[in-house]
């Protein structure tokens, strides 16, 4: 008897929907928050847009559109590259030289972690730019130059701008497991980049892919939390 299959988030996507559909159903509210049609906006508490009607077509409401969410061109590219890498046939990693370390083996699909971290860094930059947009232009540029690495931006610069860290933000929003996973990915990705190719193993790849949707929602939650703090300000020094 075969073991029962463990379903993950992408098993529930509509047929032929790509992983980039993680952005589907989200749009940018009038207050700039990222939200879905239900429930009310988490920042300004607006309800979903009213549904238009056409008296000449009773029972057949016309289609309407709203501004898209934060999802950008690069988001769709990164997510679809991650999906493509996950779905490709496995390679024979034994043909690659493997360090003689007991119990450690390089992941077959190590590229997923590297692609994800690039995608993640781009979204951290958006959060940082949100905070810097409320600072004078010269100060904002100096902070960008001083804190270039993603680690410094998630910690020290995030604390300067938002009085907390990114991982603490996720934990406070109810995403502590994602914060922990991100710390592990960062540590292992750095080790991989500095001479330890087996730092990224199959287990890390599988846990990342399984958590991808929750990680996506955690970033949106952090974005909206920061916006809810910044939005009441007059932002007279706003530069972008």
Mean pLDDT in consecutive groups of 10 residues from the start of the chain, 240 residues? 59 89 86 84 80 62 56 88 93 59 77 97 95 94 96 97 97 98 97 92 95 96 93 48
Residue at 104 is within a domain: yes
What contacts 222, CB < 8 A, 6 or more positions away?
127, 166, 169, 170, 173
- Please report whether residue 17 resides in a domain: no
Secondary structure of residue 67 in the 3-state scheme: coil
Q: Is residue 117 part of a domain?
A: yes
Cα 102 to Cα 216: distance, rounded to the nearest angstrom: 34
Query: What pLDDT does residue 16 have?
Result: 87
Q: Does residue 1 lie in a domain region?
A: no
* 95-122 pLDDT tens trace: 555 555 556 678 889 999 999 999 999 9
Residue at 121 is within a domain: yes
Is there a domain that residue 12 lies in?
no
The DSSP output letter for 68 is B
**DSSP string of 196-237, one letter each residue:** -GGGS-HHHHHHHHHHHHHHHHHHHHHHHHHHHHHTTS--TT
Reported as a single tens digit per residue, the pLDDT across 52-63 is 556 666 666 655
Residue 192 maps to a domain: yes
Check residue 237 and give its pLDDT.
Answer: 40
Tokens linked to 12:
């529930």
Task: Specify the pLDDT at position 211.
Answer: 97
Phi then psi dihedrals of residue 28, to 5 deg:
-90, 120
**Total domains in the fold of the chain:** 1
pTM over 0.75: yes
Instruction: Please give the residue range of the domain that contains residue 220.
Output: 71-230
What is the model's pLDDT at position 31? 86
The pLDDT value recorded for residue 173 is 96
The pLDDT of residue 27? 86
- Residue 209 forms part of a structural domain: yes
pLDDT of residue 4: 45
Per-residue model confidence (pLDDT) at position 51? 57
């Amino acid at each position: 008897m075969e073991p029962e299959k463990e379903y993950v988030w992408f098993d529930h996507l509509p047929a032929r929907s790509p992983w980039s559909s993680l952005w589907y159903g989200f749009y940018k509210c009038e207050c700039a928050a990222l939200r879905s049609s239900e429930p009310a906006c988490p920042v300004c508490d607006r309800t979903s847009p009213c549904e238009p009607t056409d008296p000449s077509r009773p029972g057949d409401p016309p289609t309407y559109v709203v501004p898209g969410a934060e999802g950008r061109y690069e988001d769709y590219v990164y997510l679809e590259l991650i999906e493509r890498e996950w779905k490709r046939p496995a390679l024979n990693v034994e043909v690659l030289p493997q360090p003689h370390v007991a119990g450690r083996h390089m992941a077959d699909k190590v590229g997923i972690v590297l692609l994800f971290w690039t995608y993640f860094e781009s979204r951290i930059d958006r959060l940082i730019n949100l905070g810097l947009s409320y600072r004078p232009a010269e100060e904002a540029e100096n902070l960008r130059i001083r804190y270039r690495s993603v680690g410094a931006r998630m910690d020290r610069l995030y604390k300067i701008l938002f009085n907390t860290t990114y991982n603490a933000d996720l934990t406070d929003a109810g995403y502590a497991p994602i914060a922990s996973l991100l710390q592990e990915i960062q540590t292992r990705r750095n080790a991989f980049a500095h001479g330890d190719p087996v730092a990224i193993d199959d287990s890390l790849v599988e846990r990342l892919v399984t958590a991808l949707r929750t990680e996506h929602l955690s970033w949106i939650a952090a974005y909206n939390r920061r916006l809810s703090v910044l939005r009441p300000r007059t932002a007279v020094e706003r530069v972008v």
